[in-house]
Amino acid sequence: MSDSVPQAGRAKVSPWAVFACLDFFLLWSSGVAMTVSTLLRTLISAQWLYDTTGSAAQLGLLGVVQFVQLPMALYGGLLADRVDRKKLMVLTQAVGTLLLVLLTILAAGDALRPWHIFAVTGVSGIVSMLGGSARPAMLPRVVPRSLLTHAVTTLQVTSQLATVVAPIVFWQVFDRLGITMAFGVGAGISLSSVVLPLLIGASGKPDMVSRQSTWESLKGGALFVMHHPLLPGLYVLDIGVTVVSFYRQLFPLFAHQLYGLGATGTGLLNAANAVGGIIGTLTVFCAGRVSRKGLLVLVTTLVYAVFLIAFGLNRNFLLGLIIVGVLGMTDAVSVTMRLSIVQLTTPEPMLGRASSFRSLAAMGANNLGQIEVGMLSAIIGAGQTMLVGGVLSVLFVIAVWRLLPRIRRYRYHTD
């Protein structure tokens, strides 16, 4: 099989030309609101759980709850190919908003308990996975194909911007006004993510509804991904490194064990990671000048692994913020490129399922990583866990480099 895939158009256009499309602006705005509200819920829940229980293992167990939801990601991709994508976004985001309202009420009545956090995390994760493939599947409807790469990159940049805003809002509101107001702010932001998709003019209905059974449709999506010249190798790379190193939802633990800080440390570490992510995603706009995109993915992943080791060894908070920023930057480069490849090499009738398999790989790795890092940190400490994860990640990247040569040989032009 050839190492090449269909190429994007060569015409040079402004990276921000996508905002001339009103429907894209509405889809983008809804995504930003959803990202901020989801991050607020995650940060508030994790910080409150760790403050209340003092247990690293409890944070790790949140990953168990999220892991059992993963089959829903595949079904969500199937739904995105079979039902109205706008309605699917609205319905799933409405459920997420109601759950934030419920947490607000429980916190206001001093009735919030750890099991509530686990239950809401579980239900929120299920509905998020059911609707998660609808947004990327809508992209070809709201922008011309020539702007798809820019649309994906813009979504990634602004998603990272949202991950800067959310930790700052969390830090200020949680510390100054308390958990009730923090959940309330998240619920208000989430409400806008419900309304905005309704204003999109483009149709969300599938061009044609497959008569295949659910099993046959899922099987077709799996076969497409398995026979793709690049996606399996990229997913293997992502899974192998993430499982031994996932840290983002465990920042309360790292802030406390490595730097002796609470919510302030959690918020600033999250913000630094997101700023790095923005820088990394913005570099993708210039990546058309680099022909060996696969090699770039491997190199940035190797740098990521080396800085994991630095994260585990360092105990200076300011230096830690820089290290976490580099981790976010290198991770964002490979994520954005993988998303672009999915969009540009997948037929629209298959796009929901292809996106869902990508989500399955990424989220499965995140959840397994959260369990592994949380549990191991409870045994040997957060710093030592990152040190071990970094060393294993370096070894894994070297193995992929040698055993999956198509990735390092791959060339992909966007201009």
* pLDDT tens digits along 79-102: 766 778 888 888 889 998 999 999
In a domain, 5, yes or no: no
Both structure tokens of 147: 């702007």
Give the domain extent around 366.
Answer: 21-201+211-409
In total, how many domains does the chain have?
Answer: 1
User: Using CA atoms, how far apart are residues 402 and 39, in angstroms rounded to an integer?
Assistant: 37
Q: Is the pLDDT of residue 212 over 60?
A: no
User: Using CA atoms, how far apart are residues 348 and 201, in angstroms rounded to an integer?
Assistant: 18
Contacts 24+ apart (CB under 8 A), 150-154: 150/13, 150/15, 150/16, 150/17, 150/18, 150/285, 151/18, 151/24, 151/343, 152/336, 152/339, 152/340, 152/343, 153/15, 153/281, 153/284, 153/285, 153/336, 153/340, 154/15, 154/16, 154/18, 154/19, 154/28
In a domain, 6, yes or no: no
Neighbours of 75 (CB within 10 A): 16
* pLDDT tens digits along 171-202: 788 878 888 999 999 899 999 888 988 888 88
- Sign of the CA dihedral with 49 first, then 53, 56, and 57 last: negative
In a domain, 237, yes or no: yes
* pLDDT tens digits along 357-405: 776 777 777 777 877 887 888 889 888 999 999 999 999 999 988 888 8
User: Using CA atoms, how far apart are residues 361 and 369, in angstroms rounded to an integer?
Assistant: 12
Domain with 269 in it: what CATH number?
A: 1.20.1250.20
Mean pLDDT of the chain: 79
User: Using CA atoms, how far apart are residues 99 and 28, in angstroms rounded to an integer?
Assistant: 23
Of 23, 165, 25, 30, the residue nearest 96 (C-alpha): 30
| pLDDT value for 8 | 41
Confidence of residue 4 (pLDDT cuts 50, 70, 90): very low
In a domain, 8, yes or no: no
| pLDDT value for 209 | 55
User: Using CA atoms, how far apart are residues 109 and 115, in angstroms rounded to an integer?
Assistant: 16
In a domain, 15, yes or no: no
Neighbours of 123 (CB within 10 A): 17
Neighbours of 379 (CB within 10 A): 10
Kindly state the average pLDDT of the residues 207-222: 63
∠ CA 114-117-120, rounded to 5°? 145
Both structure tokens of 84: 């109205």
Give the DSSP letter of residue 6. Answer: P
| pLDDT value for 240 | 86
In a domain, 4, yes or no: no
The gap from C-alpha 168 to its chain's centroid, in whole angstroms, comes to 19
* Helix (H) or strand (E) run with residue 147 in it: none
| pLDDT value for 351 | 63
SS3 11: coil
Q: Which of 63-77, 155-169, 306-320, 377-391 has the lowest mean pLDDT?
A: 63-77
Confidence of residue 31 (pLDDT cuts 50, 70, 90): confident
In a domain, 262, yes or no: yes
The gap from C-alpha 390 to its chain's centroid, in whole angstroms, comes to 20
119 Cβ contact list (under 8 Å, min separation 6): none
User: Using CA atoms, how far apart are residues 3 and 406, in angstroms rounded to an integer?
Assistant: 6
pTM for the model stands at: 0.62
Contact between 251 and 327 under an 8 Å Cβ cutoff? The reply is no
User: Using CA atoms, how far apart are residues 190 and 185, in angstroms rounded to an integer?
Assistant: 9
| pLDDT value for 311 | 93
User: Using CA atoms, how far apart are residues 393 and 305, in angstroms rounded to an integer?
Assistant: 5
In a domain, 224, yes or no: yes
Q: Is the pLDDT of residue 3 over 60?
A: no
